[in-house]
Chains A and B, each alone.
Chain A
Amino acid sequence: MQCGGFRTSYRSDERIFDTAVPIVGVVLVLAVLAVVPRFAGTYWLDVLNRIGIAIIGALGLNILVGYTGQISIGHAAFLAVGAYATAILEANLGLPFYLAIPVAALITSGFGLIFGIPSLRLKGLYLAIATLAAHFITTYGIVHWESMTKGVLGLMVPTATLFGVPLDSDARVFYLIFALVIPAVFFAKNLFRTRVGRAFIAIRDRDVAAGVMGVSLYRYKLLAFVTSSFYAGVAGGLMAHHSRILFPDAFTLLVAIDYLAMIIIGGLGSILGAIFGAVFMTLLPEVLKLGATSLTGVYPNAFGLIASTRDIVFGLAVILFLMYEPLGLARIWLRLRSYWKLWPYAY
């Protein structure tokens, strides 16, 4: 049983998993994921798919906001670019999805680069407001560039095919999504072992000092935006294939706020936090819906009232987490884990 961290070499310090236990845990999770589509109904597969997409998106946002400290409310815009780019590349240029999604993600990174430029001059609040503006400008572009995006009428996404098998059911899309979630998680985790990742963290903690130390703020801030929007681009591309038809309405400011809530409730600056946050925020409305529907069977008029509870519950969740557990679900998980590991000792 481990007590604290005792490292004897740089190599062991850098390891992602300290002991064998987490590795076993991860393998188990992967095994479960592999067989889930066999048993789950379409509805729950849909929910899991949305969770997967949210995980990728949240990881991206966490890299930017949680690890590099650049506040961005523009995440929905990046998702939109990724989604629409994927759909357009496939529909107009006939690219297969395994090319379209990466290319779309690259396009989104380019976008991120442009919108990252204000971060070189602005900090904190001002950056947040700039990203807010970026969101509206991007949304305007998508709605009004009708020749490409069909604007408000909706853009149909061609079905992806892999070796002749069409990915048209939730079960099949599930595999696609989680095939991308896993590398996304590991890439992110690994990122913060490298000097790039450490540069990000340095910028978040004390950017002036980082600059003095030789970390090029210019380069790394932009890189943070680029990486974060690449993730968003991938998530967007997956969204395109999941919902099969794209509307600008799917990318409102509320989406960006939802993602921010994910990483805050999950825990800023924590990979696991992003995952927890994504799961929590996606499941919250589903749980409420379940409650509402079973209650409606008993008392029909309750339906209308329950609908407004979603807003209240969301707001309260955000407020309560920020007030009582600012480090989020990840922290709670860590506490649980250490309690488990160290029992009956207190620390």
Chain B
Amino acid sequence: MSHTRDLLVRFVLVGLLVLGLAAPPAGAQGVIKVGNLVDLTGPTSDQGKDIAQGRIDAVQYFNEKGGVNGKKIELVSVEYGFQPPRAVAAYKRFVEEDKVVLVLGYGTPDTEALRPYITKDKIPYLSGSYSGHLTDPRQTPYNFPGGIDYTSQIRIFINYVKENWKDASRKPRVAFIFADNAYGRAPIESGRAYAKEAGVDLVDEEIIPTVLTDATSQLLTMKKKDPDFAYINTNTQWVPVVLKDSYKLGLKTKYVVNNYGIDERTPKLAGEAAEGVLGLQDVAYWGENVPGMKTLMEFHQKHHPNDTHASPYMRGWLWVIMSVEAFKRAGDNPTGESIKKALESFKDFDTWGLTPPFTYTNEDHRPTNRARLVQVKDGKIVQLKEVSVDRDMKWIGK
């Protein structure tokens, strides 16, 4: 059984760890070092595993093709269990010992924590965190969120509500349901302000713990305010709990979920309760008909056909594709500064079709303002239409 063989291989590898300790680090000549921060054992480990795999695969792919400007890319990977202090230590190591020129970052709390260091060290930091707080080059010139930022997403939600509200007799009522951590809270303040601006009634905010098993009491409280729409800002693992409890309670509220909360797995995890739920998609799903998907799928099938490949896997590839392009543009001896400038030269950069084209400028580090609205129909995710919000500079950095 190949599964047993896999298991055996894994355990042998652990034994090899001892040998690994004796192995000397790879040579430094003709190599571009990239720091890689991932969570494989903490609360976001289910995303982290796919993200890590995507990054590793993409780097391997590019190296097999000869690298960038004749140099191979070397990933210096550190697992940090979503604990910010470990991320800070890893970052220090990336900068001092490994002398990386770019860091592939991960979570919101640690990315936000490292902002002053990143700015001081001038190391471009491409993060899995799409927090709005990372988008203002005046504050954080070296932070580059790797996808449409959470603040833009919540603004898209509010615009959607307004556009689809037909009852002229009253304003639409919305609620925010978000996780009790830096990631969940990131867009909420801006969301409140924008709701006011847009003339939408924010009637309720429900906080759910990072690790969620039962949302009944929060939903019961929300039910009293009877919102028409609610925005959910937490991870894919826990959104199903909210949806299931909502279904059980017979709530009429329509849900919109952010990009990290909904993907191909949601219909299976939430079952019946997911029907009709809307969400925002930032990156292509597995098997979608975009130019780059074929390459990805071939590589995946060739190397580890039995592994999982949900949308975080695509994100892993996406960020490496972006990095490689930045290295190319930065020329023969890429430094932190030259890579930053290279990233800021991205204008409608085609990410193999995995996302809408990315544009960074030296005034605006939001890669895109476009996403796709998706909906769960008959147990599958169906893509409805593209949605976007204008690149209002008022919301930069918030």
Contact = CB atoms under 8 A, between A and B. Distances in A.
Interface of A: 41-43, 46-47, 50, 143, 152-154, 156, 170, 243-245, 247, 249-250, 252, 285, 287-312
A46 B21 CA distance: 21
Interface in B1-50: 10, 13-14, 16-21, 23-26, 38, 40-41, 49
Given A42-B95, A170-B92, A308-B40, A154 B17 contact: no
Chain A contact surface mostly = helix
Contacts of B18: 291
Contacts of A292: 17, 20, 77, 79
20 contacts: A41-B96, A43-B93, A46-B93, A152-B181, A154-B109, A244-B116, A245-B88, A250-B84, A285-B86, A291-B20, A292-B17, A292-B79, A294-B23, A297-B23, A299-B16, A300-B59, A301-B303, A303-B52, A304-B53, A307-B41
A243 B85 contact: yes
A152 B185 contact: yes
A249 B25 CA distance: 32
Interface in B57-82: 59-60, 74-79, 82
A41 B98 CA distance: 11
A250 B81 CA distance: 11
Contacts of A294: 20-21, 23-25
B304 interface: yes
Q: How large is the interface on B (under 10, 10 to 19, 20 to 34, 35 or more residues)?
A: 35 or more
Nearest to B60: A300
B13 A303 contact: no
A160 to B, nearest CB: 15
A152 B304 contact: no
B135 to A, nearest CB: 16
A245 B13 contact: no
B113 A154 contact: yes
A91 B88 CA distance: 21
Contact of B77 (A244, A298, A303): A303
A153 B25 CA distance: 37
A252 B82 CA distance: 12
A244 B92 CA distance: 13
A310 B23 contact: no
A309 B89 contact: no
B97 A43 contact: yes
Contacts, number: 132
A94 B263 CA distance: 48
A12 to B, nearest CB: 45
B312 to A, nearest CB: 13
Given A250-B85, A252-B83, 4 more contacts: A43-B97, A154-B112, A250-B83, A302-B20
B76 A152 contact: no
B180 A143 contact: yes
Max chain A Cβ within 10 angstroms of own Cβ: one of B74, B79, B304: B79
B212 interface: no
Given A170-B92, A243-B88, A308-B41, A297 B97 contact: no
Contacts of B23: 294-295, 297-298
Contact of B82 (A47, A249, A285): A249
Max chain A Cβ within 10 angstroms of own Cβ: one of B41, B49, B74, B85: B85
A42 B84 contact: no
B219 interface: no
A309 B13 CA distance: 10
A42 B303 CA distance: 37
A88 B89 CA distance: 23
Contacts of A299: 13, 16
Interface in B351-395: none
B17 A291 contact: yes
Contacts of B203: none
